[in-house]
Amino acid sequence: MTRNFNGWHMFAILCAFFGVVIAVNITMATYASTTFGGIVVENSYVASQEFNRWLDEAKAERALGWQAFAKRTASGKVEIALTGAPADVTLAAEARHPLGRLPDRALHFAAIGDGRFLSRESLPAGRWTLRLEARAGKHVWREEEPIQ
């Protein structure tokens, strides 16, 4: 017994095909909008002209050997443990929310001893990227540290 291929069969095939396409697109769009933690530059040409200088600065910063470890306290303040840095180091940060969902926040830190710093400002719950900048004399060190 042979079955004829009719309009209902074609309709089912098209529905299944476009259903899969739509499901994949929705899944990929959801992943793209919830996982992207990068930043967008205003002018990519100008950024490309500065790229080599940025690489040289990053190499000099890595040579300092400083490391930062960030955590959020129960009160929402940010605690940074800065290792390898001299005692006279000052620390500041800008907290950026992925994709700009919340405005950037400047964080100012007070030294609490043993290379640790505590922010004066609280940071709302959520995923943030801290752009740290430590200065000691003529040395400037920058780092990005994720915090949740």
| pLDDT score at 22 | 98
Strand partners, 114: none
Tens of pLDDT, residue by residue over 36-54, are 666 677 788 888 898 898 8
What average pLDDT does the chain have? 87
- CB distance 123 to 78 below 8 Å: yes
Element (H, E) at 135: strand 128-136
In angstroms, rounded to a whole number, what is the distance separating the alpha carbons of residues 134 and 120? 16
Tens of pLDDT, residue by residue over 129-148, are 899 998 888 888 888 888 87
| pLDDT score at 15 | 97
In angstroms, rounded to a whole number, what is the distance separating the alpha carbons of residues 51 and 85? 26
Q: Is the pLDDT of residue 2 over 90?
A: no
Q: Is the pLDDT of residue 98 over 80?
A: no
Residue 113 backbone zone (phi > 0: left; psi -120 to 50: alpha; other: beta) = left
In angstroms, rounded to a whole number, what is the distance separating the alpha carbons of residues 39 and 57? 19
Q: What is the pTM of this model?
A: 0.62
String of DSSP letters for 29-86: HHHHHHH------S-HHHHHHHHHHHHHHHHHHHHHT-EEEEEE-TTSEEEEEEES--
In angstroms, rounded to a whole number, what is the distance separating the alpha carbons of residues 95 and 77? 12
CA distances from 74 to 4, 77, 107, 135 (A): 68, 7, 17, 27
